[in-house]
């Protein structure tokens, strides 16, 4: 295979996507509880997004950011109105959105507070991307191995106030965090810690950057998870579900920070082009329906309670946790073999670290599909336990 072996490839070869189902080359159907790593939140080939894309594709794909792009303006307005933010910068991925956030908070710290070597605090277990800056920000050693020298200006600490207070000094510019650590095992933040952290940031003039790349776009039952915590961050990053499969990310910031990203301070060739913006606009139109987000909350609760009922007492399961339709099943054993067996049974699920099965079904998942998925998981787990281990 003429590819870098950066991924262990699965067996099934997806050939077609239909809503909440993926179909392989042999025509076998799989219930997709991965949504492509939390991307196709509206399911595969969603009619509204497909129609918007098809129309845009026959009209204009790309112009550079040197020209006004009305659809980009519209998406920026939709996102800023929904979040109370003042401005958006569009890019192509989550890591790029976080890069933009890092650049913005560094520049703001220098220009506003005279900080010459700004430092950003991040948390153990977090994941912020694979570029050099974002992997340095990430609180997981495995993504950093072999990539020294890493850029300066990041300190990773435990998510505890004592650690935050200890790590903060006059060069500290910002705190960056996920509200539910996704890649780190689907771990929701402690609301008391978050409350204290917000107050602390306010007192010390630190900017709060919330990475909503995995939690955003309806995944947790509100458009952004921050809304459920009553949180108004200074900077918010979005990607994954924003384009429902088209590569697009966004960095949103409060109006006061707009001046720090002036002409020439940041840029992108592809970011926010008409084609991806047509997809993002259609996605946002769809998610603006409150009934859809209500359905996410309802299905999330149903999925969690059914999991609890069917596998909560299973000896291999230690915890079922999450928010909305972002759910983690903590196991005492490796998640890999369970995930492979589920795939054979027609259910696609994800890992989040070595011992966690992560469920990220499409937001339009039905009760019937939830029942099928939980039954498959329960069946696979029971069979795995009763199969004698070799070696």
Region from 1-9, 127-135, 147-155, 318-326 binding ligand PLP, contact rule CB under 6 A: 127-135
Q: Quote the least distance from Cβ 322 to ligand PLP, whole Å.
A: 14
Angle at 390 between CA 386 and CA 391, to 5 degrees: 145
Does 127 participate in binding ligand PLP (rule CB under 6 A)? yes
Q: Please tell me what DSSP assigns to residue 281.
A: H
- Here the tokens at position 73 are 């303006």
Among 56, 93, 122, 355, binds ligand PLP (CB under 6 A): 93
Angstrom distance (rounded) from CA 258 to CA 307:
45
Angstrom distance (rounded) from CA 252 to CA 84:
10
Return the exposure string of 218-237: e unless at least 16 CB atoms fall within 10 Å of the residue's CB, then b. Answer: bbbbbbbbbbbbebebbbbb
Site string for ligand PLP, 192-211 (x = CB under 6 A): -------------------x
Which CB, 8 or 66, lies closer to ligand PLP? 8
Q: Quote the least distance from Cβ 234 to ligand PLP, whole Å.
A: 17
Which CB, 178 or 234, lies closer to ligand PLP? 178
Concatenating the DSSP letter of every residue in 291-339 gives HHHHHHHHHHHHHHHHHHHHHTT-TTEEEEEEETTEEEEEESS-SHHHH
Which CB, 357 or 374, lies closer to ligand PLP? 357
Does 35 participate in binding ligand PLP (rule CB under 6 A)? no
Would you call 371 helix, strand, or coil by DSSP? helix
Among 175, 176, 208, 213, binds ligand PLP (CB under 6 A): 213
Does 326 participate in binding ligand PLP (rule CB under 6 A)? no
Does 129 participate in binding ligand PLP (rule CB under 6 A)? yes
Does 128 participate in binding ligand PLP (rule CB under 6 A)? yes
Does 214 participate in binding ligand PLP (rule CB under 6 A)? yes
Cis peptide before 391 (omega within 30 of 0): no
Please tell me the count of residues contacting ligand PLP according to CB under 6 A: 14
Angstrom distance (rounded) from CA 119 to CA 102:
10
Q: Hey, which residues between 171 and 190 contact ligand PLP (CB under 6 A)? A: 178, 182-183
- Here the tokens at position 118 are 């700004």
The residues binding ligand PLP (CB under 6 A) are 93-95, 98, 127-129, 178, 182-183, 211, 213-214, 239
């Amino acid at each position: 295979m003429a590819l870098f072996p950066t991924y262990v490839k699965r067996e099934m070869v997806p050939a077609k996507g239909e809503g909440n189902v993926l179909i392989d080359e042999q025509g076998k159907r799989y219930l997709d509880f991965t949504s492509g790593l939390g991307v196709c939140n509206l399911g595969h080939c969603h009619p509204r997004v497909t129609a918007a894309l098809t129309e845009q594709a026959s009209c204009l794909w790309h112009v550079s950011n040197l020209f006004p792009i009305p659809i980009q303006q519209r998406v920026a307005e939709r996102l800023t109105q929904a979040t109370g933010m003042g401005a958006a910068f569009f890019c192509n991925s989550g890591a790029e959105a976080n890069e933009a956030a890092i650049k913005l908070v560094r520049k703001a710290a220098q220009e506003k507070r005279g900080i010459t070597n700004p430092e950003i605090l991040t948390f153990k277990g977090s994941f912020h991307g694979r570029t050099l800056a974002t992997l340095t920000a990430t609180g997981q050693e495995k993504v950093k191995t072999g990539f020294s020298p890493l850029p300066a200006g990041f300190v990773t600490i435990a998510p505890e106030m004592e650690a935050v207070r200890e790590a903060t000094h006059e060069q500290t510019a910002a705190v960056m965090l996920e509200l539910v650590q996704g890649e780190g095992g689907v771990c929701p933040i402690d609301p008391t810690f978050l409350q204290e952290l917000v107050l602390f940031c306010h007192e010390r003039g630190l900017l709060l950057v919330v990475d909503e790349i995995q939690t955003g776009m309806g995944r947790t039952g509100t458009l952004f998870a921050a809304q459920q915590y009553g949180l108004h961050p200074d900077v918010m990053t979005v990607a994954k579900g924003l384009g429902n499969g088209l590569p697009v990310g966004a960095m949103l910031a409060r109006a006061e920070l707009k001046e720090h990203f002036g002409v020439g301070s940041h840029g992108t060739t592809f970011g926010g082009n008409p084609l991806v913006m047509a997809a993002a606009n259609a996605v946002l139109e769809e998610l603006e329906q409150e009934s859809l987000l209500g359905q996410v909350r309802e299905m999330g609760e149903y999925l969690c309670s059914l999991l609890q009922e069917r596998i909560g007492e299973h000896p291999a399961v230690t915890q079922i946790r999450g928010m909305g339709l972002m759910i983690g099943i903590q196991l005492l054993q490796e998640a890999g073999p369970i995930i492979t067996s589920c795939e054979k049974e027609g259910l696609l699920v994800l890992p989040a670290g070595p011992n966690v099965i992560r469920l990220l079904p499409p937001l339009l998942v039905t009760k019937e599909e939830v029942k099928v998925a939980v039954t498959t998981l329960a069946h696979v787990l029971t069979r795995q336990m009763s199969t004698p281990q070799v070696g």
